[in-house]
Chains A and B, each alone.
Chain A
Amino acid sequence: MVENSLDACEIHEILPDIYIRISPEAEPISDPGIYRLRIEDNGSGLPPEVIPSAFGQVLFGSKYKLRQTRGTFGLGGKMAVLYGQITTHGQTTIISSTGTSKMHEYVLMMDIQKNRPIVVKHKTHRNQTRWHGTIVEFRTEADYARAMPKILDYLKQTAIVVPYANLTFVDPRGRYYKFDRATTLMPKPPTETSPHPHGIDVEMLKRMIEATNSRTMKDFMKRHFQRVGDATAKRFLEFANIGPNKNPKKLTQDEIVKLLNATKNYESFLSPDASCLSPLGTELLKTGIKKELSPEFVAVHQRKPAAYSGFPFIVEAGVAYGGGIPQTDGILLYRFANRIPLLFDEASDISYKVTNDAMNWRHYKVIPGTPLAVFVHICSLKIPYKTVGKEFIADRPEVEHEVLNALREVARHLALFLSRKHHMERERKRLDVFSKYLPKIAVFSAKLAKKEKVPDVKKLLRSVAKFAEEDTEGEGSEEGA
């Protein structure tokens, strides 16, 4: 639901302010127990007529367009509401406004059998301040004590990947967690796009045929698919053995399947357009990492768009070293997909595999025990999750290749930094040694030589220090790419 809120802000380029509160329904708190969950955002708000469906009907997606967003199906938020209703038989209250003079308050229940919202109450309030946003409140059963670490991880990692948001969280014991925005820059919102021929399925194709106004197949191909022009359409239809002037509405079931198979097998389509993606950008990723982890060194890199099966994707990666990064046995891995932190099943993820198996960290001067964190953000129209749980990313060779190259790039910067740092340390130690021993030699030799005056070693020390400074110039030039 936090994700929905963020989406609602980002699409409209609103700096997100999100407030989350979990409060116990009964004192003293006992887990598992009944909690009241409240989420407020300052997003675009919902038009009043869609509110009941948006929160009371499963698979009612507001995100039916083709552009990169966090959610895709309209399942996540409702599942939470549904779970709340099943466990507590409670109602859900929604207050929302799109910034008009009115504010709508709904109290809803879900008719699970018919998958239909039941409006218990609908009130309209005046909205003098032209506030826009959405507030959702419902009761649910939960085990906060167990979930707490994950919730905090989730918020912290969200703060990394959404550094331009203010996140506020009040937990059941009244503890207040605040993740302040560190920048007012936001990534460029994605543009909508038509599908790439490699990325469609039968259902989608049927829907497109139903909706189209095109009279010929050639026009249909040109109009509804990205990067398909006159020539491509003509050659593809020849390949598919379907007449270019055929009316798409008259395709038989078999022909539709034939068409779909042809899209999969035709290899001369231009690669998918990535303007529908909205990567975070190196500056924002760096800002997020610095803000939440304050490391000694950060390097980030964004790969050029790539594609797998017709879906464009962009990999962004970062490494952070030292400072607030804890020293662990391995490397800390932060995984993000379309700006959502992935918290579970780390070891099955493609990034884990690349980080721990494919990368030879020693090559980059990283020895075991180095405090190191790796960040991998994959954004795509369709993230290649391996399971419906959306917790880890499958090992697609195209994705693996991009992740590996992104990590290599940032690791190169890290290696430079580390060798410079080691060099500086060596120089400092060197200077320490000279300033420890030279004065002693002066004292001892004067005493041995039976001289009153101890000879001056300042000049000698200065000449040593001079080498040291020359060698350590260019300190701290962190590199982004």
Chain B
Amino acid sequence: MINKFLGFEPDKDRLPSATAKIGDDIDLSSHKYQKIWLGPNHPGVTGNMAIELWVQGNTVVKAKTHVGYLHRGFEKLIERRLFVQGFPTSIRMCVAEPDTNEYLIATCTEQLSGYDKAVPEMAKWLRMLSLEMARLQGLLRGVPGQGGTFALGLGVQWGVYLRDLILDRFEELTGARVYHMYIIPGGVRGLLPDGFKERMEDNLRDIDDFIIRIRKLMFHNSVFKKRAKGLAIITPEMVDKYGIVGTNARGCGVKRDVRKDDPYLHYDKLDFDPPTGTEGDIYTRTWVRWQELIQTVDLIRQIMAKMPEKGDIKAQMPNVLHWKIPKGETYVRLESGRGEYGMYYVTDGTEKPRRVNLRGPSYTHAIALLEDLLVGADIADVHAIMVSLQTCPPEIER
């Protein structure tokens, strides 16, 4: 049966204006607007976050992000604990890539205590390997996940299966699947198990195959193209104005990547060029992430090929139960899968930190940026826009 509404485009000029000012001038009693909540338990919404929407018909005229559903006071808890006790707490500040927190808190404590130069070479390569593996498992969920917001569920199932294989490698390397506690002050907890590289190579070959299949599934799909192209555009002018980082910035041509701009560990010894786009819409951002998936697989292969076979993995450190760090402060950053991820760390000469403050990319992307990008969007696209910014609520409310 032919759908008589196929190709129907409403004449929006006949509707009341959808460009109401962002403020308190939206009068719900006028019956021109309606208020609805998306989340905190909406399946399309990343994690436990809610968006309060004011809509006119299907068009969003105002949006407010609400966080706090996951607040566990991590920063406060870390301030009340010994330096080493901060580790199991810190990794929970971002579930998507917990290893980034391990690296930040380890590097902050090493820099402030003067042990940063003592970290062995082998440990730096292993740290880099675990960070890239974390990026890979995040992308395996994130790239097809964008398709999932437009009802392409199949890619998500492929991605989650392959992510589980990477979690298997994490389990081999660290003993844990999600929260690894592998990067510790002074180095890492263990060497690669026997046969690890071969098993990882097997997984990477499966992922190579997935990369081709997901390209056909998503980027050759007319529904995905039609809905993602031209949606939620980020322009280069917006990047500094909103503090946009990572693939959200690179998607509109602003090439910023901490691994290149301020190389840490041994990233300067790897051959890679961060992919960029030009359009800045959801389609381009997803395309950039798809290319980053290829690059991450390549980086893992490069790391495994270039890392030494043997070596110390941990520097001689003070007894962590009696460890006092001199008064000081630092800021350490890295390039997570979602962009610049940093930590401001202040010590006061005691056995506990004075202040720990995480700078997660979602703090900007999911509040100031998301609220502005949603204005004028269709209700059906709200969760797609949110996912396209790679929001991670735990890093907002720490």
A and B: real partners? Answer: no
Chain B: residues with CB nearer than 8 A to chain A? none
Chain A: residues with CB nearer than 8 A to chain B? none
